Amino acid sequence: MNKTWDGGDIAFQVDTWERAFRVLKPGGYILAFSSSRTFGRMSVAIEDAGFITHPMVGWMFGQGFPKAHKVAHPDWNGWAYGGQALKPAFEPIYMGQKPFSEKNGTLNVLRWGVGALNIDGCRVHVDGGEAHEREGETSQDQRCDENGAVNIAAKPGRRYKVKRLISGASLNKTGGNWRPEDSDVYYEGTLKQGRHPANLMHDGSACVVAMFPNSDGQQADLKGDEPSRPALNVYGEYKDRRQFEARNDSGSAARFFWSSKAAADDRLGSKHPTVKPIDLMQELVRLVTPKGGTVLDPFSGTGTTGEAAWREGMKAILIEREPEYQADIARRMQLATQPTKRAAVAKSKNQLDRPEDMPLFNVGEPK
């Protein structure tokens, strides 16, 4: 991307991650974004620094731009080559943890205040019952063109809404518990416990939703004492099985996974090529950070991690070398408490020219 920081190998150096390891409390988590091409080298370096590797988190998005070179010969028309000849649609996030200092996780959490994931705070909540059919909505029969646009010519599909609770909200209360971006979503009655968060997230775009098949949710109550299937008996019976109420929902299987809503005010005019949606960063911050905890971002870019931590009631330590992006961080934090001014700045500044290969943020920007 013709940036001085982009050509280095700092993410592949073990001592980079040893410094992060040193300042983390025992049990503290690390989440590190990478590209699908270089993820292997980075993950090995992080593991060599002493972290315990957890399953990666996958971030799927519909807006991405391939950078390919055409084979300049008539016999090879339609062929291309290059390191990013395929349209980028997936970004892996390394997830690891500093080993416990105590003999088990509970004792470690009680001593240090870190070491566990906020499962209930990150559950995926969706509308119950049959999803609505709406003209022009996504279905499996729709496909994306080479620029990521949806072909609406296909038959209407099922629409789903993901409900996300604000930090500390109760599952049994209505009104005031939804995150601000979900203010148009209402719910009558008691909300069922959401689905367990998975290590797959997506941007909710039509292209991504179209990749998932339609799938019915759990149709019967689980009491927790059902026998294991015969094929599983070789591993023994499951222990401590939980009870679950029937969901009785249907529609795109995309509803099983958390989705982010990229908005125009995420970028705020920055020309940084990989601005992360604040909504995505809020979910990750909430997942691994205890209430009132501190988040360290040693490569903070435009500061979306810092704003995400602030929105979640956390503290943040941001490190950024490039003066251009330091200015972006300052502007972002100044506007964090001024939603009206923030919207005006986003509308004006996001129309500036910027690189076209920005896979993580293009949805919903002003034309």
Whether residue 76 is contained in a domain is answered as: no
Do both 289 and 353 map to the same domain? Answer: yes
Do both 131 and 255 map to the same domain? Answer: yes
Nearest to 314 by CA among 186, 168, 190: 168
Of 199, 232, 259, which residue sits at a domain end? 259
Backbone angles phi, psi at 209, to 5 degrees: -60, -35
Provide the pairing of β-strand 125-126 with 162-163: antiparallel
Do both 287 and 168 map to the same domain? Answer: no
Whether residue 78 is contained in a domain is answered as: no
Query: Which domain covers residue 227, as residue numbers?
Result: 117-259
- Number of Cβ within a 10 Å radius of residue 236: 8
HSE-CB of 259 using CA atoms within 13 angstroms: 25
Q: What does the DSSP assignment read for 51-114? A: PEEEEEEEEE-S----EEEE--SGGGTT-EEEEE-SPP-EEEEEEEEPPPSSSSHHHHHHHHS-
Do both 99 and 194 map to the same domain? Answer: no
Burial of residue 301, with CB atoms counted within 10 A of its CB: 0-12 exposed, 13-18 middle, 19 or more buried: buried
Nearest to 198 by CA among 244, 122, 257, 280: 257
Whether residue 151 is contained in a domain is answered as: yes
pLDDT digits (tens, 9 = 90+) for 247-264: 667 778 888 888 876 666
Tell me how far apart the 2 most distant CA atoms of the chain are, in Å: 68
Residue 144: pLDDT over 50: no
231, two tokens = 């094929």
Who wins on pLDDT, 62 or 354?
62
The residue length of the chain stands at 367
Looking at the chain, the whole-number percentage of residues with pLDDT higher than 70 is 65
Q: Summarize the confidence of residues 240-244 as an average pLDDT.
A: 63
Kindly report which listed range (176-185, 207-216, 333-342) carries the lowest average pLDDT score.
176-185
Of 61, 93, 116, which residue sits at a domain end? 116
Nearest to 329 by CA among 300, 357, 365, 289: 300
Q: What does the DSSP assignment read for 198-267? A: -SEEE---HHHHTTSPB-----S-B-S-PPPPGGGGGG----SPPPB------SBGGGGSEE----GGGT
313, two tokens = 């009631």
pLDDT digits (tens, 9 = 90+) for 40-99: 999 999 999 999 999 999 999 887 778 889 999 999 999 999 888 888 889 999 999 999
Whether residue 74 is contained in a domain is answered as: no
Do both 121 and 235 map to the same domain? Answer: yes
Whether residue 178 is contained in a domain is answered as: yes
Of 212, 228, 259, which residue sits at a domain end? 259
Domain count, the chain: 3
Who wins on pLDDT, 131 or 271?
271
Do both 247 and 333 map to the same domain? Answer: no
Whether residue 144 is contained in a domain is answered as: yes
Residue 146: pLDDT over 60: no
Do both 255 and 124 map to the same domain? Answer: yes
Do both 325 and 277 map to the same domain? Answer: yes
Would you say 191 and 163 are in contact if contact means Cβ atoms under 8 Å apart? Answer: yes
CATH of the domain at 313: 3.40.50.150
Whether residue 75 is contained in a domain is answered as: no
Would you say 174 and 188 are in contact if contact means Cβ atoms under 8 Å apart? Answer: yes
Do both 2 and 125 map to the same domain? Answer: no
> Between the ranges 156-165, 224-233, 338-347, where is the mean pLDDT highest?
338-347
Residue 235: pLDDT over 70: no
Residue type at 44?
Answer: V
Do both 279 and 362 map to the same domain? Answer: yes
What pLDDT is attached to residue 46? 98
Average pLDDT, the chain: 75
